[in-house]
Amino acid sequence: MSDIELVSATKSFGGWLKRYKHHSQALNCEMIFALYLPPAAEGNDVPLLWWLSGLTCTDENFMQKAGAHRTAAELGLAIVCPDTSPRGTDLPGEHDSYDFGSGAGFYVNATQSPWSQHYRMYDYVTEELPALVQEHFPLNGKQAISGHSMGGHGALVCAMKNPGRYTSVSAFAPICNPSQCPWGEKALGGYLGEDKERWKAWDSCELLKRSGSPLPLMVDQGDADNFYRDGQLRPEALSAACEEAGVPITLRIQPGYDHSYFFIASFIDDHLRYHFYHLSQ
């Protein structure tokens, strides 16, 4: 198991926001992740919520902007935020656009060269990093998962591909049907190649059609979100796939809200309490 090195520690609502770096074998580079430990973790093992962030984000966006610490401290809930892509690899073209490469790992395991050398974010967030945090921190083994935009896509896919792993799943403005939207077509084509059949293993709508979902889904979407209006997110496709598969979904279209962290901060408490309820069962 790789060692971890503390980068920073900041007290927040009686708990601690800490950032750590380590060498990732899955990604073959140095990575940083953020962890919020509530006050309860000083004497007890606590449940964990995974938060997967969106395009251009790092481990810091959610921790600084979502306003989640107060309720997480009250509930006794730890939160881990991974980064959104490998860092420091400097592959050809890696930094050329915001929606592919750096900051845009899409939580898949790349099969195309040169991306397959490093871009295995799915393995990182479902295998390597969970083992690392379970070894080093006071966690009780119960996990839930959530995310935003590209990270909402990641949360849904991780939950569907790992039945029994998480107690609950939710998402804010997720990319619901990446094989059928410009962001997803660019990312999946670049990381996985042009065979669109391979893309279906990383598309929550297609996974629902194949095998349903082990968990009900909770999704919030702002109706003033430009990416929703432009067809990048497609929550209606997710809702239709859930109906076809007989999977319960709570899809809340929130009037007036956009794609920003103001939207997330407005409803994060609902999601934290939703996950804590299931983590406590």
- Do 234 and 149 meet the contact criterion of CB atoms below 8 Å apart? no
DSSP sequence for 249-273: EEEEEETT--SSHHHHHHHHHHHHH
* Interhelix angle 204-211/150-161, nearest 10 degrees: 20
**Model confidence over 238-259: pLDDT tens digits?**
999 999 999 999 999 999 999 9
Apex 36 CA angle, 280 and 2, nearest 5: 105
Phi, psi (deg, nearest 5) at residue 178: -60, -25
Which tokens sit at 99? 């929606």
Please check the confidence at residue 1 and state whether its pLDDT lies above 50: no
**Model confidence over 130-153: pLDDT tens digits?**
999 999 999 999 999 999 999 999
Q: Which domain holds residue 87?
A: 4-280
Closest CA to 49 of 124, 140, 135, 132: 140
Number of domains in the chain: 1
What is the spatial distance between Cα 250 and Cα 245, in angstroms, rounded to a whole number?
14
Apex 95 CA angle, 91 and 98, nearest 5: 135
Q: What is the pTM of this model?
A: 0.97
Phi, psi (deg, nearest 5) at residue 199: -65, -30
Closest CA to 203 of 219, 183, 223: 183
What is the pLDDT confidence band of residue 2, given thresholds at 50, 70 and 90?
Answer: low
What is the pLDDT confidence band of residue 11, given thresholds at 50, 70 and 90?
Answer: very high
**Model confidence over 189-229: pLDDT tens digits?**
999 999 999 999 999 999 999 999 999 999 999 999 999 99
Tell me which amino acid residue 71 is. T
- For 252, other C-beta atoms within 10 Å of its C-beta total 12
| CATH number of the domain encompassing residue 131 | 3.40.50.1820
What is the spatial distance between Cα 91 and Cα 112, in angstroms, rounded to a whole number?
13
**Model confidence over 59-116: pLDDT tens digits?**
999 999 999 999 999 999 999 999 999 999 999 999 999 999 999 999 999 999 999 9
Give catalytic residue positions. 149, 225, 259
What is the spatial distance between Cα 248 and Cα 238, in angstroms, rounded to a whole number?
11
| Paired residues of 34 in beta bridges | 19, 81
Please check the confidence at residue 25 and state whether its pLDDT lies above 70: yes
State the average pLDDT over residues 29-49. Answer: 98
Q: Which residues of 26-51 are buried (b: 16+ CB within 10 A; e: fewer)?
A: bbebebbbbbbbbbbbeeebbbbbbb
Helix locations, the chain, DSSP H: 60-65, 69-75, 121-123, 129-136, 150-161, 182-192, 196-199, 204-211, 226-229, 235-245, 261-279
